[in-house]
């Protein structure tokens, strides 16, 4: 089960990065280009949110597998690669999902297109940067 979840989590991460990058860039272009917020923009933001939440659920299932929890035995904070997998990556990804969720919720309350794009651009960019900062690049690529 561990290998299936690990493969799913790693594979889904490629989709997440692609969709999140597209949604973020779309929001930034919409904001600075003073565009009208349409169905395409709403759909991109929603798909970004859904893909990220699915990734979180896969990641949580992976985190609580016996193989992963076994890493806590004898764990020391000075062990940087294990600290990344056990503490930094999960915590920062939860923060990224929270940022996306907040941004998505705030954009729905805005009436003007520029306000909608602004909320999405701010929160999706922050979340995207958080995701990029705590990916275990050495294991993933």
Each residue's pLDDT tens digit, 73-125: 888 888 888 889 899 999 999 999 999 999 999 999 999 999 999 999 999 99
Q: What is the pTM of this model?
A: 0.91
Question: Can you list the alpha helix ranges (DSSP code H) found in the chain?
Answer: 2-32, 39-63, 66-69, 80-83, 89-109, 113-133, 137-140
pLDDT at 141: 65
Alpha carbon of residue 68 to chain centroid:
21
Q: What is the pLDDT of residue 2?
A: 86
What residue has token string 């275990």? 136
How far apart are the C-alpha atoms of 76 and 86, rounded to whole Å? 11
Tracing tokens 């565009």 back to the chain, one arrives at 35
Angle at 52 between CA 47 and CA 54, to 5 degrees: 95
| Terminal Cα distance for the chain, rounded | 22
> Residue 61: what are its φ and ψ, rounded to 5°?
-65, -40
């Amino acid at each position: 089960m561990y290998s299936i979840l690990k493969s799913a989590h790693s594979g889904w991460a490629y989709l997440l990065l692609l969709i999140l990058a597209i949604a973020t860039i779309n929001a930034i272009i919409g904001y600075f280009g003073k565009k009208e917020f349409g169905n395409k923009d709403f759909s991109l933001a929603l798909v970004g949110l859904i893909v990220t939440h699915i990734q979180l659920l896969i990641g949580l299932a992976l985190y609580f597998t016996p193989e992963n929890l076994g890493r806590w035995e004898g764990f020391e904070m000075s062990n940087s690669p294990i600290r990344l997998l056990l503490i930094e990556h999960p915590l920062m990804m939860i923060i990224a999902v929270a940022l996306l969720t907040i941004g998505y919720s705030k954009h729905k309350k805005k009436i003007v297109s520029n306000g909608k794009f602004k909320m999405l651009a701010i929160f999706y960019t922050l979340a995207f940067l958080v995701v990029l900062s705590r990916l275990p690049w050495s294991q993933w690529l």
